[in-house]
Structure 1
Amino acid sequence: MDDRHLIEERLSSEELVKGHFLHAYRDSVRLPDGATTTREYIVHPGAVMIVPLLEDEAGVVRVVLERQFRYPVGRVMVEFPAGKLDAGEDLQLCAQRELFEETGYCANEWARVGMLHPVISYSTEFISIWFARGLTPGERQLDQGEFLDVFTATPAELLRWCQDGTVTDGKTLTAALWLQNYLSGAWPLSWHPASLTLPAG
């Protein structure tokens, strides 16, 4: 498909803010019709999100979730475990590390299911989505200044919270869609063992 009639061309770029891990830019761009305008956006290093599955002896599945205060929106949010990539970090190793650090769980099997771009209008952020199963509990290792509660819920409970507005986090809503389709058999996953490299301690 020829998208040339949609593409914008960068003419110049100005860094507006350089923070701890976010950079804000204002670019001058040429539009497809030849006119010029500006685009302001945030450069983000990327992140991972994990959907951890707990299955009991009867085959009943529960998911591991978190409750965490998110300062920009001023409220405690229900989310799946997630975290940003370190420079040059492998996606699966990042997922293993974040799951371990935030929840204390290590997983025997992993499946990468897709990519999410949560705010395409003003950020380069992408989130790599992973499922994890065969969980072994351990002691979590939160970052300094990080506070969150870890709990479990049934998929039905999660979907009800998505419906009634308890869950409004975009990445968790996307993961709930994947979870629903995986459990129904509509979207099968390709599972593989965890990396031999252990999560960062």
Structure 2
Amino acid sequence: MDLKTAKVTGSQSLDNSEARWIKLKKITYNDPLAKPRDWESAERTTRPAGSDIDGVGIIAILQRANGRQEIMLQKQFRAPVDKVCIEVPAGLIDSGETAEQCAERELLEETGYVGKAEETSCVMFNDPGFCNTNLRLVRVEVDMSLPENQNPQPNLEENEFIEVFTVPLVTMWEEMKKLEAEGYAIDARIGTIAEGVELAKRLGVKL
């Protein structure tokens, strides 16, 4: 498998009646001056009833025996940008599932690693000027001393092509710069985490 051989071969308009995962909406609203306005929006159609999120992003931290902390990342081709993206493991939430349960399940399915959810973020909106898609980031600790994490095997769906890799948390910013220079697209969640780590280093915040 070579992710870089994937490419977009065509593009055309999609009617809402043909869409399986999203729909387009025209929103009317009043601005702060009470002036009526219109807005175009995309919306997921997969959020389970009773859930406040569409899915989760997983900040999986590997604790090495030498004390080094690494973050688990993925390479995955994304057709909307026609590039291989650098991402955190992520997935849509199932009905009746908590964010923590979803994170542990998706991590196991996509990477083969067993982890324990430690902390969950507030609800985050990916691109609120364009769509209502949202998620929670869940920090998951991966104990590399566990037998089940010695030879992890993912359980990917037929249409999933994912490469898993890790980078040291303290050099994440530099690694993202290198990957961008190599032609990869950097997911906003990854970029934000990298910027946060770098900012903490520059300001002397203890990591």
The normalised TM-score by structure 2 is: 0.72
Q: Please, which moves more after superposition, 88-97 or 173-182?
A: 173-182
Helix, strand or coil at the partner of 2:160: coil
Contact 2:173 2:197 in 1 (8 A): no
8 Å CA contact 1:109–1:134 kept in 2: the answer is no
Q: Which residue of 1 aligns with 2:189?
A: 171
Q: Distance in 1 between matches of 2:59 and 2:178?
A: 21
Partner of 2:50: none
SS of match in other structure, 1:175: helix
State how far apart, in whole Å, the 2-side matches of 1:161 and 1:176 are: 9
Percent of residue pairs bearing the same amino acid type = 23
Residue pair 1:42, 1:122 contacting (<8 A) in 2 also: yes
Distance 1:134 1:174 in 2: 21
Tell me how far 1:177 sits from its aligned partner.
Answer: 4.4
**Residue aligning to 2:175:** 161
Residue equivalent to 1:117: 125
Residue 93 of structure 1 aligns to a residue whose secondary structure is helix
Structure holding more helix per residue: 2
- The residue matched to 2:126 in structure 1 has which SS? coil
How far residue 182 of structure 1 moved from its aligned partner, in angstroms, is 8.4
- CA gap 1:43/1:17 in 2 versus in 1, 3 angstroms: same
Mind listing any 5+ residue stretches in structure 2 that lack a counterpart? 1-14, 48-53
Match of 2:78 among 65, 70, 75: 70
Provide the TM-score with structure 1 as the length reference: 0.74
Which consecutive unaligned segments of at least 5 residues does structure 1 have? 1-15, 189-201
Amino acid at match of 2:137: I
RMSD: 2.7
Residue type of the partner of 2:21? Answer: F
Q: Does 1:107 align with 2:115?
A: yes
- The residue that corresponds to 2:61 in the other structure is 53
Secondary structure at 1:123 match in 2 = coil
C-alpha distance after superposition, 1:42-75 (max 9, x if no partner)? 2233221111111222101111111010101001
For residues 192 and 179 of structure 2, the distance between their equivalents in structure 1, rounded to whole angstroms, comes to: 14
The structure 1 residue matched to 2:139, chosen from 113, 122, 131, is 131
Query: Contact 1:114–1:130 (CA<8 Å) still a contact in 2?
Result: no
**Amino acid aligned to 1:141:** N
Return the offset for 1:164. 5.4
Q: Is the 8 A contact 1:24 1:40 kept in 2?
A: yes
SS at match of 1:86: coil
Change (3 A) 1:82 1:34: same
Distance in 2, matches of 1:34 and 1:109, equals 44
Which one has a larger percent strand, Structure 1 or Structure 2? Answer: 1
